[in-house]
Amino acid sequence: MEEKVQQRNFMNLQFSAKSENESFARVTVAAFISQLDPTMDELSDLKTVISEAVTNSIIHGYDSNPEGMVIITADIIGDTVTITVQDKGAGIEDLDLARQPLYTSKPELERSGMGFTIMENFMDEFEVSSEPGSGTSIRMKKRIESKKALYN
């Protein structure tokens, strides 16, 4: 029996920490992932987690300073996508507290405090690392149940 070699594809995206770039990031990553032929629900979930992660970088990491840069990498191996969203911003003082549902460090902006909870629930794997003063990195992984596989 022949061993199937899994194909790999990779992208790297970097942009200014401006709120209008959140939709650019969401659409760009969705277009890249579309090669896996995700369901509409999978695509919607992925777009949501990108929005949450990028918005966190812009609002919390850089305090909406457009001089900051948000970096996204997406790596596809076989039917699995790994996405990393990182910034070199403020970092998170108390990661355990920040991961609590409904917690927000900016209640004046009417933030829901559900970003990390949503990302964790929509992805198969979710990791966040942060160093105060050095930035935050969010790594997420999801296996796409390709519709192509249903017809083969």
Catalytic site positions? 52, 56, 111
Considering only CA atoms, which of 68, 79, 87, 72 is closest in space to residue 8? 79
Half-sphere exposure of 101 (CA within 13 A, CB side): 5
**Residues 87, 136: contact at Cβ < 8 Å?**
yes
How many angstroms separate the first and last alpha carbons of the chain? 18
What is the number of alpha carbons within 13 Å of residue 11 lying toward its C-beta?
16
CA–CA gap between residue 18 and residue 95 (Å, rounded): 24
The pair of three-digit structure tokens given for residue 146, joined into one six-digit string = 């390709």
At 89, the amino acid letter reads: G
